[in-house]
Structure 1
Amino acid sequence: MIASATPPLPLVFTGRDDLVDQGVDILCNQALRFLAILGAGGMGKTSLALHIIHRPAVKQKFGQRCHFLPCDIFENAEALTQGLISIMKIMLQENQGKQEALFNYLKATQHDLLIIFDNFETPWNNHGSRTDIRNLVEKIAGCERVSIIVTMRGPHGPGEIPWKALGDDSGIPQLSPAAANEAFKAFAGPKVESSETSDSLISQLMYELDYIPLAIKLSAYHARKISLDTLTEMWKNYKTGMLRDATTQDSRSTSVEFSINLSIQLLHENQNSIQLLSILSFLPNGVPFWESNLNQMISKSVQPSNGNWSLNISVLLDTSLIYIQNEGLRMLAPIREYIQSQYPTGQEIMDQLEIFYAQFLKDLPNNDMQAQPMLELHINNIEKILRAQIKSGHSKSSCVSAVFILYPFRRFASVSMSLIDLILEKDKKINKDDEVEFKLKKAKILRSMGRFQDAKDQVILQAQKYFKQSQNQRAQANSMRWLGNIYFRQDKYKEASEMISEAQQLFQKIGNELGVAECLKRLGDIYQMQGRNDEAIQMLSDALKQFQTFGNQMRAAECLLSLGELYRKQKKYDEATEMIMKAQTQSEEIGSKQGVANCLRTLGRIYMDQTQYDEAVGMFSDAQIQYQNIRRIVDAAWCYQYLGTTYRLQGQYEKAKEALTETLELLKGFPGEKYKIGWTLLEFGHLLFDMEDFIEARRKYEEARNVFDSHGQLEKDVDRCSRALAKLDETIEQ
């Protein structure tokens, strides 16, 4: 019975070497005797224990005296004692009790001995025998040559024993994304071939499964028979119901739902705990800073019978259905999905959660730098509750107002756009101006994502049509300005200039000075790109004065940045640096991370122009990190392009090649960025020319020319490529 319940050493085992090393070090080097492997079901606790005891150092210390006891088949102290006697092959003397025989054997041993209590939560949570279990395990720990490994669900090892736990405060962690992908492919076998498409599908599925080892293994078994696309659809439709091995009887190692149910059974039908579990399972972010937030989130709808949730939290922690991370209550994704399917959150709770988050959004600080970290802790909760309320039509507060608050946070642009789409689809009573305003905001998000055609065709033009039919001249002017901005981002400066100029006239007509200043700023940027530097400086200087009058620090900082860039082009480096430093200071004051990154990038260009290459590299690198942190991928890519150019000028060709390759890789997701893609290819051609790889240089020059030519309005850049090709031909002929 014990032999058949003891699992073999897992052959697929990835991403856990550090934990195994830590466990071996605890047992063999630190002279500590009690190792606890804690965590939720399916996290691979048993696998970890098996790999630890098979390490050479452990085998050398304990030899054949490693005794593995699968505790899920034992319910009380007497059964556990019998199990230990059986696996240690202890012979009972006449009239000798089982525990007497066990402890005589353990105390008499002259060599180090290791006992592995696997799945110890089964006997431990049998409340009728917990005292006997505690006494047994503590007496075993008192035998000086005995070491113990315990694997169990819960935050702490059993009894008053000085356990050393693997992992962090919440137990052993999930796999890393890379290890999860590797494990999935190993379990799935040769049917799953590595490609950009398949790797992307696997990565998304691993994210959905929260990188839990058991869920990864069981999902991979399906991939042996069906495509990854079908597997992804199965997860969407069946969730944890698909995470089982259909070829064998359900058990803790063959079914995620079975494993979760084992933990639920530990609650002994405690209704308060189950109700709290239902609430937590609805919240992807859990409850950040739960001690201060939990009661505010749900107190008006439900209260525990004893008036305090702390006891119920403690009970749930003991089951490992939840865990505490950074003072927040969390639940792993497959557990959330299953709990929600079995104990769905009621509408009264949903309404209370919506009210809490509507107030939370209103109370956010005005400073984005302070507000964004607070918002990030809750953003998935906010999206889920708002989507649920919009879909069901049960919204108790204005979801429209909530989205308007979320919209300025560019880091959460995808959330804003998702909610905007849902409101436009579901809310039949939405105010017409709000509807069109949402379409304009969606256009701005699409533009920032590089999806210029979508922004122009699907959103802005619809909004313009409405505004031209209405009397809302301010909205008309805004739609023209935003469409002009889209043309500007597409490097279509003629159309951009015409649209912005028309918007400026309309803003002047209605007396909207801020709108006029916005148009002056954009016209200055357009003239700068067209090489009309004196006109650009005049426009930007006028815009700067107006923004300063209005107290608009962000726009004033942007004007200073643009003026600095213009002075750089005129080789007035002292004036340029002065402007950029002012812009950086203002950006820091208002918490604009993008503004700071923009300034660092321009300072890098100033250093590069003056051949101060090391300083330039430092600035570009800092700017790239800042852009990556705020998800400005195109801007991060452009920093790599500047790094590539700088390295080339330094003669560091391999570094230059790496940087330019990274630029093109990042820009793959933004095919509308033809100017930047073309310039990167052109710079790559210059690099290969300097490396005297003329064949590849020609290819890059021709690719760059084709990209510029496909744009339709980058004739100067097409000519630049043609000149580069002509120079290449001259060099080859010499």
Structure 2
Amino acid sequence: MTLLSDRMPESGSVSSWVRKTASKLKSPPELAVKEKQGLPSNAMYAIDGGKKLAEALQSVSDLIPLPFLSSFVKVGIRVLESCQDAAVIVEDVKDLQDRVYNIMLVVLNSALDGKTSLELRERIETLQLVLVGILTDLTKVKQQRKLLLVFYREMNKDLVDKCVGRLAVALEKFQVASQLHVEASQLRVEDLLARIKADHSALFPQLDRIEATVNDLTQPHNAPSRREDMRLLPPIFHGRDALVEEIALLLATEETSHVCITGVGGIGKTSVAVAVTQYPLIRTVFQQYIFWVPCITAKSSDLLRHILYAQLRITAETYESLDPLIAELDASKQPRLLLLDNFETPWLSGPDPAEVGHILRRLAALPHIALLVTMTSGVTPEGIKWKHVPLHPLEPAAARQVFEETYRDAAGGRELDAGEQDLNGLLDSVGHIPLAITLMASCGGHLVASPDDLLRDWKKAGTEMLSTGMKGTLSMDDTISLSMGRGVDSNPNALRLLAILSMLPAGTTGKHLVVWWAPTLRMSTHAAVRILRTAALIEQSDGPFVTSRIFVRPTIQSYMSQQNRISPEVRAEVHDTCYRFVLHHKSIPDDHKFKADLEALASEETNIQGLLMEILVDGVSRPDAVDALITFGFYQSWTKPSTVVASHALAVACAAHDNPHTPDLDAAARRVAEAYRCLGKTFSMLGRYDKACVYLEEAINRFKTLPGGGDLHCAGEVSLELVRTWVLKGGKSVNEFKSLCKEAQANLSHDETSKYHVARGLLGSGSLIWPGDATLEILSKAKAIFEELDCPASTAESLFCIARAYARRNEYRTALPFATEALTKAKQSGEVDLICRVLSINARYLVVLGSYDDAEAMSTSLLKTCAVLGSPLHNGQALELLAYNCVAKTDLRTARLVYHAAWREFNKIQSTRMGGEGMGRCADNLKMLKSMTGTQNDFSVLKKRFPMI
């Protein structure tokens, strides 16, 4: 043997050839793969060779006056064909086929040496009857359905064993009668042919045919004859340079030379691997000894071995063992790199993964052999020290570059005419998966379609619009279907879990998956997750199962959403779970579970919003669906305000109220009032105070006039929210404020037995009265009640108002401890807006007291918290305070930058009093900063927010 050689081996014995060919029979699907490639399969070689040998025998029998020999040969051929088919079902049939080949050679020898035709005929006919019986049994095996084969596998094995036994007995009797005392397994066809040629010179032409056929059959046809070339790197390849270099460095070092690139179908594993093989360092280390091993058709360990022999250009007398290949590789210590692409096919889809793992371990055991494996799953063969490299989607900039260049090529040089934001939306929808980007851009370029057009089509058709891949490229549906075929399509539980996860665009934690989203699976959730992960249809972040994130890529979500792949039953179950989850975490800031509820809702926010937005406005919405919408709208007003859900909640609530089929109109009317309140509060948090006032005023009126009787407590709470909005908006007189405050307190305190609401009324009143002992007395009374009731948020607000009352009197040192205690309580509650307001007064009081370092730390914390809330007012005030503090510390350069940022935030709400005043202060201070030199005298002339309370 020699590496990189096409030399064929010497012929071996027929018996060894028989064993080789018989043991290599393949199942029909594998034959189809070979035929599709233009390569004859091993079984095809074997049966075709058997037919050629039989034809040669038939030509000899024509010259020998033995008419019954032709009949025997025909039956033998039929048995060989049946053996081929039955080998798919029963492994032990290989030995049977081995014996059939041998018996045909024995009969030839006996036919030529037979002394009496009658005696020979009887013995041959006896053998033929045995073969006919075996043919009948094999036909029974072949006709069984797949389901029966599972249950009767052992029975089939026994049947074949009996066939082998009958044939062995018949052959023994035949040989004894023929006085041929040589074991069939030890016959050498060369000896038989030499003997026949010596005695029967008249048969030279026919015997030459037999010899040629046998010699042809003994060649190693069971190894693929065509070697595939290394794949080319795609012409458009961006965003992977750092990763390619990282993998190259790993492979070039012997200790880390086993690298496995994993990732979902279409993410570019093969492209990255090919780029690695072209990396200069790799070319230097491995030179020309870089081998491409395509595994996509290697559906068994046997086929994998054959592909290895072909791709490494190693020949051997037998390909049934890896020994010759390993010996050849071990003989030369030249470093070699083997790129095994699509390794998931033999490893995950084949019938013998243990043997596949054994092959890989034997290769890995050679220290100078580097392995670069690409596969969808991260579940790799054990016993090898792998360096796993999970492949992630492209970064936005690289994704845009790939799209634009592909689009330009497909459009004949025409550039994409679209804004970055539009293109980013399209790329987000396909999850930045390279194959999806390439197919989408190619489609758009050929049609000269805009990203908006493509996005609309994607939302309608999903991966179906990419069903036709580019030349030589699988479509997205193809790649996903291959993964679906790895144990998922046939597993109802795994399929159900995939459908559930496909409805959760942000994924979920292992804990929520088990407890909430998939508690009814008829198998272990962990087992179903393992099946889906192995098939590379879902992904799981690092860490323990309960806290790790389990999610599905957008392309697979889209695939599942088409053609009713998600059943109505699963859809209904997921929606029901969503409503239950939201309502289970419904609370207010004074509840001790409020902070934990915010965290739970935050972990599922994207999923919940997507599911809630699917609730139809014109349908008969279930009460729990409307309640969930409103509850989630309030959650967002406390965390990161958005009118999307709140507006939808109001539309759905109004439609349900107006629907004549709604069963409980009183409850429906309350939901409408709550929805108005939610949307009004949200507008206020966003600085859109005019709209906020409209919705809050409507909510107050609706709470007062509920069909079943007014809810004055709720009306009073909304009135307090409206008062605060008036303060921020400006333009109201003192009398209007006082009137609304009195009304709010009266409504909240109408039931004196409800201490909580009485205290809320006192808090509302005390927070708006100007400095005086009465204010502090009212606030202290409210604080005492809240402390007694253990209400963290209202206690914090009471302390906040007390601190502010002292600050109004310029007693900042007295105010600061109350502000500090308020911050502790606010953090205990978890209400972000309250935390921002309390942090703000702490920072201001520290600036006034000259504690600039402490003020800077507090301002930095304030900015981080404001960023979560996203309120322009909070952001502007926090930035302005930080800029002012920077000037106090004579850091003028930073002060200018921060004042500019503050001005931009105030500009977002410039129509309001707070926004306009903030813009004016920032603009004036920026002008003054131009002439400042960085002294404390400069600080004194700056404009600051007044009062600093």
Range into which the TM-score falls when normalised by the shorter chain: 0.7 to 0.9
Structure 1 residue 84 displacement after superposition: 4.0
Equivalent residue number for residue 497 of structure 2: 276
Letter in 2 for 1:58: I
Equivalent residue number for residue 259 of structure 1: 479
RMSD (Å), alpha carbons: 3.8
Q: 1:443 aligns with which of 667, 670, 680?
A: 680
Residues 78-93 of structure 1 correspond to what in structure 2 (within 5 A)? 78-88=302-312, 90=313, 92=315
In structure 1, what is the Cα distance between the partners aligned to 2:416 and 2:802? Answer: 54
Residue 912 of structure 2 corresponds to residue 691 of structure 1: no
Residue 256 of structure 2 corresponds to residue 28 of structure 1: no
In structure 2, what is the Cα distance between the partners aligned to 1:422 and 1:544? Answer: 42
Equivalent residue number for residue 587 of structure 1: 826
Equivalent residue number for residue 572 of structure 1: 811
In structure 1, what is the Cα distance between the partners aligned to 2:527 and 2:828? Answer: 44
Equivalent residue number for residue 452 of structure 2: 229
Equivalent residue number for residue 487 of structure 1: 726
Letter in 2 for 1:8: L
Q: 1:562-609: CA deviations, max 9, x gaps?
A: 332443454422112111112112223334454344333322222222
Structure 1 residues 502 and 70: CA distance shift in structure 2, 3 A: same
Equivalent residue number for residue 374 of structure 1: 600
Structure 1 residue 639 displacement after superposition: 1.5
Letter in 1 for 2:477: E
Residue 727 of structure 2 corresponds to residue 472 of structure 1: no
Q: Is the 8 A contact 1:138 1:161 kept in 2?
A: yes
Q: 1:54 aligns with which of 278, 292, 298?
A: 278
Q: Is the 8 A contact 2:896 2:929 kept in 1?
A: no
Structure 1 residues 175 and 576: CA distance shift in structure 2, 3 A: farther
Q: Is the 8 A contact 1:35 1:165 kept in 2?
A: yes
Structure 1 residues 192 and 539: CA distance shift in structure 2, 3 A: farther
Q: 1:75-100: CA deviations, max 9, x gaps?
A: 44454445444544x36377888955
Bigger mean CA deviation after superposition, 622-631 or 357-366: 357-366
Query: How many pairs are equivalent?
Result: 673
Bigger mean CA deviation after superposition, 612-621 or 4-13: 4-13
Bigger mean CA deviation after superposition, 147-156 or 24-33: 24-33
SS at match of 2:509: coil
Q: Is the 8 A contact 1:243 1:256 kept in 2?
A: yes
Residue 433 of structure 2 corresponds to residue 212 of structure 1: yes
In structure 2, what is the Cα distance between the partners aligned to 1:65 and 1:479? Answer: 77
In structure 2, what is the Cα distance between the partners aligned to 1:548 and 1:407? Answer: 31
Equivalent residue number for residue 902 of structure 2: 663
Structure 1 residue 686 displacement after superposition: 1.6
Q: Is the 8 A contact 2:689 2:912 kept in 1?
A: no
Q: Is the 8 A contact 1:81 1:102 kept in 2?
A: no
Structure 1 residue 319 displacement after superposition: 0.7
In structure 2, what is the Cα distance between the partners aligned to 1:581 and 1:268? Answer: 57
In structure 2, what is the Cα distance between the partners aligned to 1:454 and 1:2? Answer: 72
Q: Is the 8 A contact 1:154 1:320 kept in 2?
A: yes
Bigger mean CA deviation after superposition, 97-106 or 324-333: 97-106
Structure 1 residues 677 and 142: CA distance shift in structure 2, 3 A: farther
Bigger mean CA deviation after superposition, 517-526 or 371-380: 517-526
Q: 2:365 aligns with which of 129, 142, 149?
A: 142
SS at match of 1:157: coil
Q: Is the 8 A contact 1:478 1:503 kept in 2?
A: no
Equivalent residue number for residue 500 of structure 1: 740
Structure 1 residues 295 and 601: CA distance shift in structure 2, 3 A: closer
Q: 2:391 aligns with which of 162, 168, 172?
A: 172
Q: Is the 8 A contact 1:278 1:343 kept in 2?
A: no
Structure 1 residues 538 and 66: CA distance shift in structure 2, 3 A: farther
Letter in 1 for 2:540: I
In structure 2, what is the Cα distance between the partners aligned to 1:312 and 1:686? Answer: 62
Q: Is the 8 A contact 1:645 1:683 kept in 2?
A: no
In structure 2, what is the Cα distance between the partners aligned to 1:509 and 1:425? Answer: 30
Bigger mean CA deviation after superposition, 429-438 or 202-211: 202-211
Equivalent residue number for residue 730 of structure 1: none
Alignment gaps of 5+ in structure 1? 528-532, 694-704, 706-713, 718-734
Residue 652 of structure 2 corresponds to residue 423 of structure 1: yes
Q: 1:166-222: CA deviations, max 9, x gaps?
A: 1xxxx333344565456555655684578xxx3333444443333333333434445
Per the normalisation by structure 1, the TM-score is 0.80
Letter in 2 for 1:321: L
SS at match of 1:651: coil
Per the normalisation by structure 2, the TM-score is 0.63
Letter in 1 for 2:370: S
In structure 2, what is the Cα distance between the partners aligned to 1:634 and 1:47? Answer: 49
Q: 2:527 aligns with which of 292, 296, 311?
A: 311
In structure 2, what is the Cα distance between the partners aligned to 1:140 and 1:539? Answer: 83
Q: 1:641 aligns with which of 857, 880, 888?
A: 880
In structure 1, what is the Cα distance between the partners aligned to 2:917 and 2:227? Answer: 67
In structure 2, what is the Cα distance between the partners aligned to 1:34 and 1:659? Answer: 51
Structure 1 residues 176 and 563: CA distance shift in structure 2, 3 A: farther
Equivalent residue number for residue 6 of structure 1: 231
Structure 1 residues 113 and 401: CA distance shift in structure 2, 3 A: same
Q: Is the 8 A contact 2:906 2:918 kept in 1?
A: no
SS at match of 1:72: coil
SS at match of 1:329: strand
Structure 1 residue 555 displacement after superposition: 2.4
Q: Is the 8 A contact 2:836 2:862 kept in 1?
A: yes
Letter in 2 for 1:266: R
Equivalent residue number for residue 545 of structure 1: 781
SS at match of 1:128: coil
SS at match of 2:296: helix
Larger of the two Rg values belongs to structure: 2
In structure 2, what is the Cα distance between the partners aligned to 1:107 and 1:234? Answer: 55
In structure 2, what is the Cα distance between the partners aligned to 1:670 and 1:184? Answer: 37
Q: Is the 8 A contact 1:285 1:381 kept in 2?
A: yes
Identity of aligned residues (%): 19
SS at match of 2:550: strand
SS at match of 1:114: strand
In structure 2, what is the Cα distance between the partners aligned to 1:201 and 1:664? Answer: 28
In structure 1, what is the Cα distance between the partners aligned to 2:289 and 2:909? Answer: 61
Q: Is the 8 A contact 2:630 2:674 kept in 1?
A: no
Q: Is the 8 A contact 1:297 1:356 kept in 2?
A: yes
Q: Is the 8 A contact 1:500 1:522 kept in 2?
A: no
Q: Is the 8 A contact 1:9 1:51 kept in 2?
A: no
In structure 1, what is the Cα distance between the partners aligned to 2:906 and 2:393? Answer: 31
In structure 1, what is the Cα distance between the partners aligned to 2:294 and 2:450? Answer: 36
Equivalent residue number for residue 116 of structure 1: 339
In structure 1, what is the Cα distance between the partners aligned to 2:884 and 2:417? Answer: 37
In structure 2, what is the Cα distance between the partners aligned to 1:45 and 1:600? Answer: 49
SS at match of 1:214: helix
In structure 1, what is the Cα distance between the partners aligned to 2:899 and 2:531? Answer: 54
Q: Is the 8 A contact 2:703 2:710 kept in 1?
A: yes
Structure 1 residues 600 and 436: CA distance shift in structure 2, 3 A: closer
Structure 1 residue 375 displacement after superposition: 2.4
Letter in 1 for 2:593: N
Equivalent residue number for residue 538 of structure 2: 322
Structure 1 residues 275 and 323: CA distance shift in structure 2, 3 A: same
In structure 2, what is the Cα distance between the partners aligned to 1:418 and 1:504? Answer: 26
Q: 2:838 aligns with which of 599, 602, 613?
A: 599
Structure 1 residues 417 and 405: CA distance shift in structure 2, 3 A: closer
In structure 2, what is the Cα distance between the partners aligned to 1:667 and 1:229? Answer: 33
Q: 1:485-538: CA deviations, max 9, x gaps?
A: 3322213342861562353365278457766765665566556xxxxx525x74
In structure 2, what is the Cα distance between the partners aligned to 1:384 and 1:339? Answer: 16
SS at match of 1:450: coil
Structure 1 residues 659 and 219: CA distance shift in structure 2, 3 A: farther
Letter in 2 for 1:629: V
Q: Is the 8 A contact 1:354 1:397 kept in 2?
A: no
In structure 2, what is the Cα distance between the partners aligned to 1:182 and 1:152? Answer: 26
Letter in 1 for 2:675: F
Structure 1 residues 125 and 425: CA distance shift in structure 2, 3 A: farther
In structure 1, what is the Cα distance between the partners aligned to 2:231 and 2:828? Answer: 62
In structure 2, what is the Cα distance between the partners aligned to 1:637 and 1:145? Answer: 62
Equivalent residue number for residue 128 of structure 1: 351
Q: 1:264-320: CA deviations, max 9, x gaps?
A: 122363141323322222223434225x743764455x52xxx44443332211111
